[in-house]
Amino acid sequence: MDDGRTDSGRWYSPAMKLRLIFLLILIPAGILQAQTRNVIITVSDLHDVCKPALELVDSVSEQRGPEEAVQIVRCFGYVEGVVSAVIRLSVAGFMIDPLYEGTFCFPETTEPRNWIESFVAWAEDNPEKLETPAVDGFLLALIDAFPCDGSVASTPPADSP
């Protein structure tokens, strides 16, 4: 029975060995490239996605290409996911990380757009935080803009005079 073994008892040939080495080099490179492309990791990344998304939402044109739609969905999806997770965890009894030194309380009329406007303004006012993890920066922006003590947000939305 021929099981593909060479005379030396190996089941793979030198050509197969080269293919395996080649794949072992390419696969991690591909994974690394996939992880660094289009991933929201820092405040800067989230800002770079959300600021143009707000501008696209404001644009008069109803015709949008797929890239524009993806830009809007990435931003709004990210922030809505973070807020939903935090609210769900707090309802279940988990506390927000003490790093945040507070929590946020949304007025009844707030919408995801308000959260994003507040985050973009906060990120621009806090350039030293641009390399902070995106979720941390976003939550800090919400705490700043929507404090639970009922005070006025210290970072007004971008369209305010």
Same-domain pairing of 86 and 20:
no
Report if residue 105 sits inside a domain.
Answer: yes
How far, in Å, CA of 40 to CA of 49, rounded?
8
And the tokens for 121?
């303004």
Report if residue 122 sits inside a domain.
Answer: yes
Same-domain pairing of 15 and 76:
no
Alpha helices (runs of H) in the chain, residue ranges in sequence order: 14-36, 43-58, 66-91, 112-125, 134-145
Same-domain pairing of 116 and 84:
yes
* Counted domains in the chain: 2
And the tokens for 15?
């050509």
How many residues make up the chain in this entry?
A: 161
At 35 the pLDDT is: 42
- Residues of the chain whose pLDDT is less than 70? 1-38, 60-63, 91-102, 150-161
Same-domain pairing of 77 and 130:
yes
Task: Please choose, from the candidates 20, 74, 66, 85, the residue with its C-alpha nearest in 3D space to the C-alpha of residue 45.
Answer: 74
At 127 the pLDDT is: 96
At 103 the pLDDT is: 74
At 36 the pLDDT is: 44
Report if residue 6 sits inside a domain.
Answer: no
At 42 the pLDDT is: 92
At 44 the pLDDT is: 94
Domain boundaries, position 18? 11-39
> Could you tell me the pTM of the whole model?
0.66
User: For 105-134, what is each residue's pLDDT tens digit?
Assistant: 888 888 999 999 999 999 999 999 999 999
